[in-house]
Amino acid sequence: MTAVSPQNASPHWQRGIFWALLSPLFLGFVPILAKLAYAAGVNVLTVVAFRTLLAALIMWLGLILFARHFIASPIPAILGSMLAGGINGLGSLFFYGSLTRIDASLGQLINITYLIFVAILLRLAGQAVSRLTLLRTALAIAAIYLLTAGGLGRPDWLGVGMMLAAAVTFAIQLVMSQRIMMDIPAPTMTLYAITAMSGVVSVVWLLFPSNLTAVSQTGWQAVIWMGVVTALSRLTLFLGVKALGSLQTALLGILEVAVTITLAAVFLHERLTINQWVGTAVLITSILLIRFEHAPAK
């Protein structure tokens, strides 16, 4: 049996896995809550803008009340965090915009290519990518293909391009955050990244505003809960990146798709197909193989 690397047996590595797995658990609720918001008559841009604004507000209130020492940070680190968050905010607009043109299953399949972009960017930055990581990436893409039923259907190429842009921006944010958090804690990175992200999407909403008084109480409840899980998912995401690096965290983050499908089966009474069960098994295999990974070099 292959021995576990001492790095991987360390509490720091184990905590990183814990946080990186919590992030997709939170994110898995977002599509379910979004469906509830849409069903209540909330338009897409309002959902994106206000859930991000609420997430930023939650982070600011949380740190002001309980951990003010995370707010102060060197200016270059703050600017770097905000740049990464702003890029991701732009990507979120591409992501949700693409879903108005292509099926969600095809969107998930295209979006998972962020794993490839993360690997490419890390190689360009000089970080080695192991064969095991490449194998796990291939397994993850195969799993998403099965979980989304292959993303069948004739694609809208503009929608496909928008989703690819979203994948690239998410990859850029992950790789940037790995470098930025060599100098600052994860909560600080989360605070300023979400703040910048909320600023980008808010500007777009102001350009194309909607009637907020028409949003029902049920709609606002769904948006508020989306804000809560967005804040928690970003915080745990960056805690994972801090400990594991961007690529290992991204590979664990694909658990989000399986979580969403499971929640849809429980709350929306959607049934899993045989292909989806197989895809879930392949996905879990990819995740469990992190046991044999090595911590990234600093």
Contact assessment for residue 256 and residue 244, using Cβ atoms and an 8 Å cutoff: no
Which of the four pLDDT bands, split at 50, 70 and 90, describes residue 149?
low
- The number of distinct structural domains making up the chain is 1
Segment among 6-15, 32-41, 145-154, 285-294 with least mean pLDDT: 145-154
Q: How far apart (Å, rounded) are the C-alpha atoms in residues 155 and 224?
A: 33
pLDDT at 254 over 90: no
**Is residue 5 in some structural domain?**
no
CB atoms within 10 A of CB 289: 15
3-state secondary structure of 152: coil
Phi, psi angle pair for 129, to nearest 5°:
-120, 120
Domain with 99 in it: 25-292
Flag the least confident range among 2-6, 111-115, 215-219.
2-6
Q: How much is the pLDDT for 156?
A: 79
Question: Which two tokens mark 42?
Answer: 């909330």
- The region of weakest confidence among 85-99, 169-183, 188-202, 271-285 is 271-285
Angle at 208 between CA 204 and CA 211, to 5 degrees: 125
Return the pLDDT at 296.
60
Tell me if 6 is assigned to some domain: no
Give domain status of residue 162, yes or no: yes
Short-list 281, 280, 286, CA closest to 258: 280
pLDDT reading at 252 higher than 80: yes
- Predicted local distance difference test score (pLDDT) of residue 247: 87
State residue 230's pLDDT score. 93
> How far does CA 93 lie from the centroid of its chain?
14
pLDDT in tens, 42-61: 888 999 999 999 999 999 99
CA-to-CA separations, 101 to 75, 156, 157, 158, 240, in angstroms, rounded: 40, 6, 9, 8, 32
Which tens digit of pLDDT belongs to each residue from 226-244? 999 999 999 999 999 999 9
Q: What is the mean pLDDT of residues 206-212?
A: 91
Per-residue pLDDT at 34:
83
Residue 188 lies in a domain: yes
pLDDT at position 7 is 52
Domain assignment present for residue 271? The answer is yes
CA distance 200 to 97: 15
- Inside any domain, residue 69: yes
In 3D space, the residue among 123, 71, 147, 96 whose CA is nearest the CA of residue 246 turns out to be: 123
The model carries a pTM of 0.85
Is 74 part of a structural domain of the chain?
yes
